[in-house]
Amino acid sequence: MTTRRTIIKQGALGAATLATSTAMPWRMLRAQAKPVKIAVIAPLSGPWARQGTLIKWGAETAANEINAGGGIKAMGGAKIELVLIDAGDSAEKAKNAAQRLIAQEPDVVAGMGAWLSTFTLAITEVTERAQLPWITLSYADSITDRGFKYVFQSSMPAGKQSVETLPTVLNLAKAATGKLPQSVGVIGDNTASPTAFLKPMREGGLQKAGLKVLFDETYTPPLSDATPLIQKVRSGRPEFLLWVSTTISDLKLGLEKMNEFRLAKGVVPVISNGAHLGMPEVLKNLPADLIEGLMYSVANHQVKGQDRINDAYGKHSGEPWITQDGLAGYGHTWIFKEALEKAGVADRVKLNEEIHKLDLTSGPAADSFPGGVKFDAAGRRTNAIVCIVQWQNGKPLTVYPTDRAMAAPKWPKTS
């Protein structure tokens, strides 16, 4: 029989059930905090699409790790959501991509990109006005020379890389041959990064190091043929060649021409700069014996202690080894994660302050960048070091800094 007491009991039970059932999704909603959006503007089409893809894979590897590990704990386990935008093949398109990002994704709290210094310079003009913290791997000194507050540069700027590279290379030569080289030939393309890298050397750095500059040529990439350039090497016979280019195509033309002129394989050692020189596809364009011994400086490359990052990246991307681009995508995402943990809110200004305060010496972000993660007021990583990498037995191996090197450097003794 249904009594009033029974009705009250059933009502109370119903209310309790209702309360429980509504409380469950509420708790779940709290657990699934709003994702934190991080932008990746990189060239995903055009001639630099490959480099952009490597950055993307690095960022995805890190985002997957962070999300699998419980997201941003200070924000209720908020997941990282990457917003991928194509920078295209020109500074104009890159700038448009940044404007589109600001207009269409108001929730984005930070971003990274866009590989080529020329693109980064254009993009950061837009992101700075939007007070959007932006980290880049691009080399040009001018990126952090403009007094911007929201731009961070994880690589050592090109001008400083140049200053660091030269004495290291000369010491390697001396250790191997017993004397310092006396002459050098310089070839560089006229894009922003090689120009910035070669500037301190051209402005007296080479002479100060006791080197006689036999020729100094600048060209517009891509080359159609390297004959006139390598003919300079043939007639001048410098003790080593400083050749800074931004395309694999030019590298192939140059090294094959040197082989044709009997100048390759250590006859005239080649020193260069740039992450593209260590990409796996170099071997799809040049035989291993021709690239053997090529030495180049780069802002970041796989060093001792990065096996875990390399493995995770390899599993995600299928790439045989990680290079600067993958490390940047991975490391930048982890830097944002660490700063978000401190900020506790998805706020651009607060996040920017926390990035400036970071001083990371361990963990995935610090592991990605030898020297750790700490930025100065201008946005430059204070402990950034330059890596010197050399192709040995078909692999680009870090040979400097010595304490993190994967192999000992070799200087050809035939020069």
Partner 1 sequence: MDDLYWHLVDFLQAFAAGLLVGGTYGLMCVGLGIIFGVMRVVNFAHGDFMMLGMYAAFYLVTGFGVLAFLGPYAGPIAGAVLAGPIVFAIGWLLHKFLISRVTGARVVAAEAEGHYAQIILTLGIALVLANGGLILFGSTPLSVQTPLSRESWEIGPVFLNQARAVGFIMAVICALGLYLFLTRTNLGKALRAAADNPTAAAYVGIDVDRAHRLAFGLGVGITGVAGGLFAMSQSFQPYIGFDFVIVMYAGVVLGGMGSILGAFWGGLTIGLVQQMSTLILPYQLQNTAIFVVFLVIVFFRPQGMFGRVWERT
Residues of this chain that bind partner 1 (CB under 8 A): 45-47, 49-50, 52-53, 89, 190, 217-220, 222, 224-225, 227-229, 231, 235, 247-249, 252-253, 255-257, 259-261, 281, 284-287, 290
Residue 8 to residues 23, 311, 332, Cα–Cα distance (Å): 22, 62, 59
Q: Spell out a b/e string for 158-177, using b for 16 or more CB atoms within 10 Å of the CB, else e.
A: bbbbbbbbbebbbebbeeee
Cα separation, 122 vs 243, whole angstroms = 27
Residue 232 tokens, joined: 């300079």
CB 252 → partner 1: shortest distance, Å? Answer: 5
CA angle 171, 410, 199 (to 5 degrees): 50
CB 224 → partner 1: shortest distance, Å? Answer: 6
In the complex with partner 1, the residue whose CB is nearer, 146 or 212, is: 212
In the complex with partner 1, the residue whose CB is nearer, 104 or 231, is: 231
Give 204's DSSP letter: I
CB 246 → partner 1: shortest distance, Å? Answer: 12
In the complex with partner 1, the residue whose CB is nearer, 222 or 401, is: 222
In the complex with partner 1, the residue whose CB is nearer, 221 or 401, is: 221
In the complex with partner 1, the residue whose CB is nearer, 27 or 284, is: 284
Tell the residue number behind the tokens 């507050």, with chain if given. 149
Q: Residue 5 CB: number of other CB atoms within 10 A?
A: 8
Cα separation, 320 vs 379, whole angstroms = 32
Q: Spell out a b/e string for 56-95, using b for 16 or more CB atoms within 10 Å of the CB, else e.
A: bbbbbbbbbbbbeeebbeebeebbbebeebbbbbebebbb
In the complex with partner 1, the residue whose CB is nearer, 47 or 76, is: 47
